[in-house]
Every structure is written in C-alpha cells, then in structure tokens.
Amino acid sequence: MSFEDYEYCWDNFVDHRGMRFQSRNLLRDNDLLATELENILRTTMNPLQKEIFFYQFGNQPRAPKPYHRRTTYLCYQLKPHEGPIIARVCLQNKKKRHAEIRFIDNIKALRLDTSQRFEITCYVTWSPCPTCAKELVAFVRDHRHISLRLFASRLYFHWLRENKKGLKRLHASRIPVAVMSSLEFEDCWKEFVDNQGKPFQPWNKLEQYSESITRRLRKILEPQNDLENEFRNLQLQ
C-alpha cells in the first residue's frame, strides 16, 4: 500500500472523527515490504508436473492414451517493460471459473503502477472461448499500461462461428494471438514445469501439428473470409 492507499482507507473506512491521516512511521518500511513482495512473486509458483505438461499442452489432434479430458491450463509471466520477471503463475479452470478469468483477477489484484509499462506472456492449452476473449479484450482496454501476448497450444472448437469471432476480437484488439511452436513449448517447459533440470524433449510431429494449427488460425483471421462468407450468404438467400 502506498501513502495514497492508506489515506484513502483512513478517509473511507475509519471513524476518524474529522482527524487527518498521519503517516508517522507507518510507511518507514514500505519499500522493504514492496521488495519482499516482489521477490515472493518472482519465485513462488506451483510448477506443473511433467506428465500434466505433456498431456495438457500436447498439440496432437487426439489426446494420447490413457484418454482423459484435456482442460485449460494457463501459465503466465509478468515483467516490467524494462526489468526482470516478477511473477510466474500457472492456473487452470476451477469451479466454473475459466483460467483466463482467474488470470484477470490475479493481475487486477496486484494493482500494478499505471505509470509503468508491463508485459505479460501467456501460454494456454486451449485458445480462449468467446466469453473469455471478450473479458480479455475489456481487461486490456481498461489497462493500457499492460501489453498481453497469448500463445495457444490448440484452438478451442475452431469450427464454431462464435469461437472464430472470439479469436478475431482478440486479433482486432491489442492482444496478439499465436500458436505455440517448439520455442514456446521449450520456454514453457523451462519456466513452468518441474523438469528436474532435464531438457525439453519434443514429441513426435510437434512442429507439423503446430504448423497445421497455425495455418488454421491464419485462415480464421484473414479479413477476406468475412467477405467470402457474406457473399455465400447472399447467394443462398
């Protein structure tokens, strides 16, 4: 909390009987506490187990055996525009709250200094659903000091119209969306997985699958697709 935060709390939540807020020694250790919090955020994270990473982040068209539902995991790292990474966190869908919404809640709770620029890189197992895409767009719109990049392992029901609209909404905003390649998978492995010091070992056809998904995403985001669809609709009427 800054001096302004303490003063606001005093003015709005304390029965101060007209007395003005006096900081005295309250903020003496504020910088020390801020540094300690930064160190905690930089180092505290429950790393993914290797088995979870390979199963959930795998970009194969079909999940490998044993068959289980592949859910949404979101791993993000936060850093100032010019500075070291200050937070690494992994989230997943929980109690009907998608990982993207939990991510937004986490960042909002940090109350990042609006006078500084921040960059966030997200690795997600599935591209966002339409609702989450809309929320991410609103989040970036309301937090102009934050730049957000999304790398998705797979596209979520990419053939559905609403999901395509969600991807286009992200693309039209300040949120670059790309498909994870071996470089992103390797970085995710190094930064978010309990890898026990072992190097990343790509699975069979990783790059082939990544290129195929990239072509699919590129086709969805092409502007002429909208014109072609409208033309087809006119022909059908």
User: What DSSP line would sit under 142-197, residue for residue?
Assistant: H-TTEEEEEEEEE-TTTTSHHHHHHHHHHHHTT--EEE--HHHHHHHHHHHB--TT
What CATH number is attached to the domain comprising 141?
3.40.140.10
The answer to which of 30-39, 129-138, 149-158, 172-181 has the lowest mean pLDDT is: 30-39
Three-state SS at 126: strand
Residue 39, in any domain of the structure:
no
Q: Is residue 180 part of a domain?
A: yes
| Residues 111-152 pLDDT 10s | 999 999 999 999 999 999 999 999 999 999 999 999 999 999
With respect to residue 66, please indicate whether it lies within any of the assigned structural domains: yes
Residue 110 has pLDDT above 60, yes or no: yes
With contact defined as beta carbons under 8 Å apart, do 6 and 21 qualify?
yes
Retrieve residue 55's tokens: 């199963």
207 lies in some domain: yes
What average pLDDT score do residues 207-227 get? Answer: 87
Q: Indicate whether 167 belongs to any domain.
A: yes
Indicate whether 158 belongs to any domain.
Answer: yes
Q: What is the mean pLDDT of the chain?
A: 86
pLDDT in tens, 53-79: 999 999 998 876 666 677 899 999 999
Whole-number pLDDT of residue 63: 72
Of 4, 100, 162, 211, the active-site residue reads 100
Domain count, the chain: 1
Answer yes or no: is 175 within a domain: yes
Asked, for residue 134, whether it belongs to a domain, the answer is yes
Q: Could you tell me whether strands 73-80 and 118-126 are parallel, antiparallel, or unpaired per DSSP bridges?
A: antiparallel
pTM > 0.85: no
CA distance 3 to 65: 56
What is the span of the domain harbouring residue 86? 59-236
Confirm whether 4 is a catalytic residue.
no
